[in-house]
Amino acid sequence: MLKEPLSFLLTVEGERVVDSVLRLGYVHRGLERLCQERNYVQNLHLVERVCGICSHIHTTTYCQGVEALLGLEVPLRALYLRALLCELERIHSHLLWLGVLAENAGFTTIFMYAWRDREIALDIMDELSGGRVAHAVNILGGVRIDVGEASVASSLMRLDELERRIEVFLGVIQHERTFRARTRNVGHLSAEQVRRYCVVGPVARASGADVDVRRDAPYAAYDRLRFKVITSNEGDVWARALVRTLEAVESVHLCRQLLTELPDGPLSVRAPRRVPPGEVVSRGEAPRGELVYYIRSDGSDKPARIKIRTPTLATLITLPDQLRGVNTADVPVVLAGVDLCISCADR
């Protein structure tokens, strides 16, 4: 339902899907190649535009990688602000996804409510960074923005309101009979399939895999924060909805911690233009799962190679399996359940 180009060739018998063929590449922009022709600072602009919804985690993971190559120590205040925007982005992404899932299941009311409540998260991000979706907060060596007392207070108030509204959606997912009827036992992935396909993110966590880069390989300020990793054992679209919504609640708690425990200090350190030769793998937990950046530098001010492994690419592979034997009516629900971000997958 999100206007992203993806081609599925479905073979159906009556109402049952027999087979499916997936085609990607409609928004392949060759961003990795373009990155090799621009310097590290210009690439910040490119990398942010790999995805619209998870733009901040892309720049965060990229900056972390380059800062590791440069041997920079990013100030703590900047790390907290980076994590803050990451979590706000996660809430925004999960609420957007909930609306898309509801619309695909014919539940237009929840779509309207979720996208209305997502505006609260967008408003917070707008006040903090000046942009609702593209924040341009990260710079090599730290962050560009600062958050004052007034912004902290107003954001905390908005977060309270947001948490109240997300609880409503939790109630719908857990108790509303028609929503459960459409999402239960649809698009089932076993823990074995998740392991075999190397699925990441909420899709993996909904099938029982206990993986979360924020806890397993902490970046930004996550080693100083307290949060739960939400998993479920059901493995169907309903479980994914539950996991994502509970994660959104956890993100609200994380935002509160970040705002109230924000340390004082500088916002950035100066980053040299030339990056010493080396290679680095940087990971982050995007709303859709583990995001991996491999950056190789040759000593100049332009990277020799940037390779981006987005989480959607890992979860997409499971779709033919999920769609086998499913009703045509379940196809949009299954597609929405894996939370595809095609611009991430195509780059």
Partner 1 sequence: MIDGLSALFALMVFPGFGFLFVCALAFQWIDRWAVARLQGRIGPPWFQPLADFVKLMAKEDTLPTGAHELACAVLPVVSLAAVLTASLYIPVAGRAVSAFEGDLIVVLFLLSIPALTYFLAGWFSVGVYSIIGGNRSLLQYFAYEVPFLMALTSPAILSGSWSISHIAVQQSQTVWMVLVQPLGFLLAVVGLIGKLKRPPFDIPKAKSEVVAGPLTEFSGRKLALWHLTLDIQMVIGIFLVVNVFLGGSSPGTIYPVSSLGAIPAAMAFGAKALVVLLLLSVSSVLYARLRIDQLANIGWRVLAPLALAQILATILIGAG
Question: Of the candidates 78, 102, 128, 344, which one interacts with partner 1 according to CB under 8 A?
Answer: 102
| CB-CB contact of 152 with 201 (8 Å) | no
Q: Which residue, 49, 38, 59, 47, is CA-closest to 304? A: 38
Task: List, in sequence order, every residue forming a beta bridge with 16; answer none if it has no partner.
Answer: 13, 327
Q: What b-and-e string marks burial along 35-68, b requiring 16 or more CB atoms within 10 Å of the CB?
A: beeeebeebbebbbebbbbbbbbbbbbbbbbbbe
Asked if 327 touches partner 1 (CB under 8 A), the answer is yes
| Span of 84-92, 269-277, 278-286, 330-338 interacting with partner 1 by CB under 8 A | 330-338
Question: Of the candidates 112, 153, 157, 198, which one interacts with partner 1 according to CB under 8 A?
Answer: 112
Asked if 328 touches partner 1 (CB under 8 A), the answer is yes
Question: Of the candidates 63, 79, 105, 221, which one interacts with partner 1 according to CB under 8 A?
Answer: 105
Helices (H) and strands (E) in the chain, counts: 15, 7
Question: Of the candidates 106, 208, 218, 278, which one interacts with partner 1 according to CB under 8 A?
Answer: 106
**What x/- string results for residues 264 through 303 when contact with partner 1 is judged by CB under 8 A?**
----------------------------------------
Rounded to 10 degrees, the C-alpha dihedral 343/302/70/79 comes to -30
Nearer to partner 1, 35 or 237 (CB): 237
DSSP 102-167: HHHTT-HHHHHHHHHHHHHHHHHHHHHHS-SS----EETTEES----HHHHHHHHHHHHHHHHHHH
| Span of 171-179, 195-203, 246-254, 292-300 interacting with partner 1 by CB under 8 A | 171-179
Residues binding partner 1: what is the number (CB under 8 A)? 27
Nearer to partner 1, 14 or 30 (CB): 14
| CB-CB contact of 82 with 221 (8 Å) | yes
Asked if 36 touches partner 1 (CB under 8 A), the answer is no
Asked if 174 touches partner 1 (CB under 8 A), the answer is no
Positions in the binding site for partner 1 (CB under 8 A) = 1, 12, 14-15, 102-110, 112-113, 116, 176, 178-179, 181-182, 327-332
